[in-house]
Chains A and B, each alone.
Chain A
Amino acid sequence: MSCGCCCADNKTLELNKIIAKYKDTRGALIPVLHEAQELYGYLPMSVQKKIAEGLNVSLADVYGVVTFYTQFSINPKGKYKINVCLGTACYVKGAGEIFDKISEILKIKNGECTEDGIFSLDACRCVGACGLAPVIMINEDVYGRLTADDIPGIIKKYIDKESDAK
């Protein structure tokens, strides 16, 4: 898995293009962060530093914005991004337990990624499927009306998929 730090020269060139595209527009920071995150999958310090230098703002400004908005991540994301909805409906239907179960099985906390880069875990706000509460999403797949007991099976599906691919 690419680390996205300093080795990926092509990505650096791409990032420079993104910065150049927005450089002289007001409010450039957020669109640049969006595109940079799309490029790298997340926003490590080296990328934030380049953006700060490129847009002539302080790293403190960039980091403040990145950590304010939940859609930006400073940690790498897994191949399978697990989002657990902690919106009101899901929460009262036991989403907390589901979150804890996933965390326990994968041994990662909120916002983290497994060492092998396969899974990452995030708590998110309402995904708009309250009728299916509690809901989790793994990449684009939606799983609803879950209990904690359903979790091991779901995760196993993706682990199997990975070993088949190998």
Chain B
Amino acid sequence: MSEYVTLTIDGVEVKAPVGSTVLEAAKSAGIKIPTLCFLKDINGIGACRMCIVDVGARSFQAACMYPVSEGLKVITNSPKIRETRRVTLELILSSHEKKCLTCVRNRSCELQKLASDFNIKDIRFEGELQNYPIDDLSPSIVRDPNKCILCRRCVSVCKNIQTVSAIETNDRGFNTIISSPFHMPLKDTPCVNCGQCITACPVGALREKSSIEKVWDALSRKDLHVVAQTAPAVRAAIGEEFGYPIGTPVTGKMVAAIKKLGFAKVFDTDTAADLTIMEEGTELVDRIKNSGKLPLITSCSPGWIKFCEHNYPDMLDNLSTCKSPQNMFGALLKSYYAEKMGIDPSKIFVVSIMPCTAKKFEAQRPELASTGYPDVDEVLTTRELAEMIMEAGIDFRNLKDENFDDPMGEATGAGVIFGATGGVMEAALRSLPYFLTGKDDENIDIHVVRGVEGIKEAELEIAGIKVKAAVAHGLGNARMLMDKVKSGEADYHFIEIMACPGGCVCGGGQPIQPASVINEIDLKAERAKAIYQEDKNLSLRRSHHNPRVLKMYEEYFEKPGSHKSHKLLHTHYIARENYPEDKCGQ
């Protein structure tokens, strides 16, 4: 059997690999078939029937599932096919809550786009609207089943990519609903708040819990010193909301826009990322030298942390005790910065701008308030920041670039690359020789830990020690890696895990790209380019060279791992039961 088959699509002869689908074959021949529920590598179940084609069978078949075969004749476009697709679309629309003007996905909705593409001017069917309650009890994610079109993209990403399985397709027929078991609020499930369901959703059925109103309120209060911190992945993607090509870093304009919104100061979370490397690197060296618990696993990703608390409660000691950069920075602002500037910490309002929905949950963790005040007061996603900029009528594209504010403005390239998978590992490896020997080695671009492969492994010899490292992104990959570690099959020193596939650049709070884009390009790789470009442009690229961070130690923390840094920059974790009995509302 040859590896390829030849088929005919709309009269065009196409060669396609055995095992591929008609949809893939058509794409390779430049023939477009409309899709809705299909999401490359995530969902291909033929649920929505928009991609139906004529393969000479008794009924039309879904191109996203139908396998190619030798001599197959496919017709993708005929009056009958168009009419069938149209009826299907009208039926989907008939029971959809069509409040487009006030929908969070207005103008970025894939259903709206299809209705426009199909030239739908009238919906012939009046479907029943269910009037489901909206679940907005999670600090991160809001679910509105009234807008849901049952495409199951969210279910698939939650179950197959993240292996969290907090939601499923429940009940049947007209009563079918995507929900958690027993329709529990998401907050009572093992949901880790990663928000991958939001970025997979073609419509407005899933969105982040908005903090915009609270931030506007804080900004209007004269008694508050409202400061912003922005994570590295935000600058790599927010440009997309203002028409820049994917992968364009817009750091200067982003800072300028945030200042225009009325923030007193705009800081770079990357400074805290550098601080994280100082603390975590020291922790790693300590554990290696003093036979501590290994492997040490990174703790920057709050989705990963909650996943670990639910699924590997016996391995919480492997997690680095370092707070995430967001919370380190918050704690710094309400201690070091407050003292230095002579501001009452109760009057400092910290807004962090994150590519992440899980950061909203993290900010509310009660143990993350070591100064006596919450480290972070509110978290905005990249999308929410873009919404605020638009709401304020700021002409983003014509802003003059501005710099982050002092005294914590400077960060190194190592801090920047925290935003992509492998970045925390690379940053740590750039500083590890210094922590072990007091001297840097020549390694600065550590390509082996970069890239979008699910699990990456590296073995580097540093100061006579063979350091074994592994990197996983996406929680399904994390689970695989953790199971290997648990069974004793792997003996790493250091593991980096990020909850979202691709790392923070593809976090659940990032601009939403439609399936038409995600199915064509690797968003993870494209956005990471912006991060690595920014790193390359910086003169300082090792965390322990950051003069601001060194000064912080000199003036305040004394040294990494000191008593004071443990009080302010480190934390602990909680074993969490999946579906605890007291939450079983029966």
Q: Spell out A's residues near B (CB within 8 Å).
A: 5-6, 44-46, 48-49, 58-64, 67-68, 74
B58 at interface, CB cutoff 8 A: no
Task: Please determine whether A68 and B159 come into contact, CB atoms closer than 8 angstroms.
Answer: no
Task: Please determine whether B166 and A60 come into contact, CB atoms closer than 8 angstroms.
Answer: yes
- CB-defined contacts of B167 to chain A, threshold 8 Å: 60
- CB-defined contacts of A45 to chain B, threshold 8 Å: 181-182, 579, 584, 586
Interface of B is mostly: loop
21 A–B contacts from the bound complex (CB under 8 Å): A6-B581, A45-B182, A45-B579, A46-B581, A46-B586, A49-B579, A59-B165, A59-B181, A59-B578, A60-B159, A60-B165, A60-B166, A60-B168, A63-B181, A64-B168, A64-B170, A67-B170, A68-B169, A68-B170, A68-B171, A74-B182
Q: Chain A nearest CB: distance from B268 CB in Å?
A: 39
Identify the closest chain B residue to A6 (Cβ): B581
Q: Chain B nearest CB: distance from A62 CB in Å?
A: 7
Q: Which of B561-586 contact A (CB under 8 A)?
A: 578-579, 581, 584, 586
A-B contact count (CB 8 A): 49
Q: Chain B nearest CB: distance from A55 CB in Å?
A: 13
Q: Chain B nearest CB: distance from A61 CB in Å?
A: 6
- CB-defined contacts of B181 to chain A, threshold 8 Å: 45, 48, 59-60, 62-64
Interface size, B (range): 10 to 19
Expressed in whole angstroms, the Cα–Cα distance for A48 and B172 within the complex equals: 19
Identify the closest chain A residue to B172 (Cβ): A68
Cβ contacts B146-160/A at 8 Å (1 or 0 each):
000000000000010
- CB-defined contacts of A64 to chain B, threshold 8 Å: 168-170, 181
B477 at interface, CB cutoff 8 A: no
Q: Chain A nearest CB: distance from B476 CB in Å?
A: 13
- CB-defined contacts of A58 to chain B, threshold 8 Å: 159, 165, 168
Most chain B C-beta atoms within 10 Å of own C-beta, residue among A48, A49, A64: A64
- The 3 tightest CB contacts between A and B, nearest first, are A58-B165, A63-B181, A64-B168
Q: Spell out B's residues near A (CB within 8 Å).
A: 159, 165-172, 180-182, 189, 578-579, 581, 584, 586
Q: Chain A nearest CB: distance from B514 CB in Å?
A: 27
- CB-defined contacts of B172 to chain A, threshold 8 Å: 67-68
Identify the closest chain A residue to B181 (Cβ): A63
- CB-defined contacts of A61 to chain B, threshold 8 Å: 159, 165, 168
Q: Chain B nearest CB: distance from A60 CB in Å?
A: 4
Task: Please determine whether B180 and A60 come into contact, CB atoms closer than 8 angstroms.
Answer: yes
Expressed in whole angstroms, the Cα–Cα distance for A68 and B586 within the complex equals: 20
Expressed in whole angstroms, the Cα–Cα distance for A66 and B180 within the complex equals: 13
- CB-defined contacts of B581 to chain A, threshold 8 Å: 6, 46
Expressed in whole angstroms, the Cα–Cα distance for A46 and B579 within the complex equals: 10
Task: Please determine whether B579 and A63 come into contact, CB atoms closer than 8 angstroms.
Answer: no
Expressed in whole angstroms, the Cα–Cα distance for A64 and B172 within the complex equals: 9
Interface of A is mostly: helix
Most chain B C-beta atoms within 10 Å of own C-beta, residue among A60, A68, A74: A60
- CB-defined contacts of A74 to chain B, threshold 8 Å: 182
Identify the closest chain A residue to B175 (Cβ): A67
Q: Chain A nearest CB: distance from B274 CB in Å?
A: 39
Given A59-B578, A60-B166, A68-B169, 18 more contacts at CB 8 Å?
A44-B586, A45-B181, A45-B584, A46-B581, A46-B586, A49-B584, A58-B159, A58-B165, A58-B168, A60-B167, A60-B181, A61-B168, A63-B170, A63-B182, A64-B168, A64-B169, A67-B171, A68-B172
Q: Chain A nearest CB: distance from B100 CB in Å?
A: 30
Q: Chain A nearest CB: distance from B504 CB in Å?
A: 26
Identify the closest chain B residue to A60 (Cβ): B168
Q: Chain A nearest CB: distance from B341 CB in Å?
A: 49
- CB-defined contacts of A62 to chain B, threshold 8 Å: 181
- CB-defined contacts of A59 to chain B, threshold 8 Å: 165, 181, 578-579
Identify the closest chain A residue to B166 (Cβ): A60
Within 8 Å by CB of B586, from A5, A60, A63, A67, lies A5
Expressed in whole angstroms, the Cα–Cα distance for A48 and B180 within the complex equals: 13
- CB-defined contacts of A68 to chain B, threshold 8 Å: 169-172
Q: Chain B nearest CB: distance from A86 CB in Å?
A: 13
Expressed in whole angstroms, the Cα–Cα distance for A63 and B586 within the complex equals: 14
Q: Chain B nearest CB: distance from A9 CB in Å?
A: 16
Most chain A C-beta atoms within 10 Å of own C-beta, residue among B167, B169, B181, B581: B181
Q: Chain B nearest CB: distance from A147 CB in Å?
A: 29
- CB-defined contacts of A48 to chain B, threshold 8 Å: 181
Q: Chain A nearest CB: distance from B337 CB in Å?
A: 44
- CB-defined contacts of B584 to chain A, threshold 8 Å: 45-46, 49
Expressed in whole angstroms, the Cα–Cα distance for A58 and B310 within the complex equals: 13
Expressed in whole angstroms, the Cα–Cα distance for A63 and B579 within the complex equals: 13
- CB-defined contacts of A67 to chain B, threshold 8 Å: 170-172
Expressed in whole angstroms, the Cα–Cα distance for A93 and B165 within the complex equals: 44
Expressed in whole angstroms, the Cα–Cα distance for A10 and B159 within the complex equals: 34
Identify the closest chain B residue to A53 (Cβ): B578
Expressed in whole angstroms, the Cα–Cα distance for A62 and B182 within the complex equals: 11
Identify the closest chain A residue to B180 (Cβ): A60
Identify the closest chain B residue to A75 (Cβ): B586
Most chain A C-beta atoms within 10 Å of own C-beta, residue among B159, B166, B172, B182: B182
Identify the closest chain A residue to B182 (Cβ): A45
Q: Chain A nearest CB: distance from B178 CB in Å?
A: 10
Expressed in whole angstroms, the Cα–Cα distance for A46 and B182 within the complex equals: 11
Identify the closest chain B residue to A48 (Cβ): B181
Expressed in whole angstroms, the Cα–Cα distance for A74 and B172 within the complex equals: 15
Expressed in whole angstroms, the Cα–Cα distance for A62 and B169 within the complex equals: 11
